[in-house]
Structure 1
């Protein structure tokens, strides 16, 4: 994590801005806040996720067409940002520009990252995610 922050500081001259503390990832939401998978508009898959771990498991098994549909619309990032308040993870998801199994792999990599640490500025516990590319 320190390496990520040092890389960011070298590139941008300052540390990244803090995000709101994310909700605990194991927290389960009510059914109306669940993530409902679709293959297209009007084509539900009848798969629902109620927390990020559940979403990761569904990402493993739903058809790629569903992942592409939701990624193109920004649904994964919006759900993580709005429901679980994890801005960094949402931004990293939003930046994925892959299709097919490459998309599935990238999403699974982001959701599998379990490293957590305290922000050096405010002390808020967060999941650091590299959201920039080195030149």
Structure 2
């Protein structure tokens, strides 16, 4: 799964129910950049609804990312700690992908 590959179903960021931020991600690289800049209330909103896990599973079919993001929810991570750990998970996967490419 190329992290720069654009997908048909983008992830749309919200700060709450019916409160779109106007930010979307069509690739894992765009998703990573959005995670770095949206407010933590948006990250918490999506994490605890299972939105991140669902999008990763449905669009990218990545068991690794799905399980790592699920663990963040189970651990009850919030605020800047959530952002830091989510960025770490995404950067780890993207780095692994780029490293293993011929």
2:66 aligns with one of 73, 77, 90: 90
Q: CA deviation at 1:78?
A: 1.0
Q: Which has the larger radius of gyration?
A: 1
Higher normalized helix content (fraction of residues): 2
Q: CA deviation at 1:24?
A: 2.3
* Contact 1:25 1:84 (C-alpha < 8 Å) held by counterparts: no
Structure 2, unpaired ranges of 5+: none
The normalised TM-score by structure 1 is 0.66
1:115 aligns with one of 93, 96, 99: 96
CA distance in structure 2 between the aligned counterparts of 1:26 and 1:82, rounded to whole angstroms: 17
RMSD, aligned α-carbons: 1.2
Deviations 1:81-105 (A, max 9, x none): 1101111111110110300000000
Where do residues 1-135 of structure 1 align in structure 2 (5 Å cutoff)? 23-30=1-8, 33-96=9-72, 97-113=76-92, 114-116=95-97
CA distance in structure 1 between the aligned counterparts of 2:68 and 2:10, rounded to whole angstroms: 21
